[in-house]
Structure 1
Amino acid sequence: MTDGVSLVQQGNTLKTDAQKQADEFASSSTTKPRVNARTDIVHLNVGGTRYEVSRSTLMHYEGSMLASLISGKWKEGEGDVEIFIDRNGRRFEWVLDYLRSDRAYVPDLSDQLALKEELDYFGIAVDMSKVSVTDDFVTINELSQEIKVHKATIAQKEKRIAAIKESYRLAGEFADYSENEKLKVRLSVNKDVDTKMLRRCLLSRGLHVLRSGSKESGAPTLYLCVAGQKSKCVTKLTK
Structure 2
Amino acid sequence: MSNTARSGDIIHLNVGGKRFSTSRQTLTWVPDSFFSSLLSGRISTLKDETGAIFIDRDPSLFAPILNFLRTKELHPRSINVQMLMHEAEFYGITPLDNSLQWEKHAIGNQLMATQPYRKIRSQAVWLLWQNQDVVPISSYDTAGSFLILGCNNGSIYYIDVQKFPLRMKDNDLLVTELYRDPTEDAITALSVYLTPKTSDSGNWIEIAYGTSSGTVRVIVQHPETVGSGPQLFQTFSVHRSPVTKIMLSEKHLISVCADNNHVRTWTVTRFRGMISTQPGSTPLTSFKILSLDDVDGHGGCSAGTEIGPYGERDDQQVFIQRVVPDTDKLYVRLSSNGKRVCEVRSVDGMSITAFMVHECEGSSRIGSRPRRYLFSGHSNGSIQMWDLTTAMEIAGKVDIR
TM category (shorter chain) comes to 0.3 to 0.5
What's the TM-score once normalised by structure 2's chain length? 0.23
Q: Which has the higher contact order (CA 8 A, sep 6+)?
A: 1
Larger radius of gyration: 1
More helix by share: 1
What's the TM-score once normalised by structure 1's chain length? 0.36
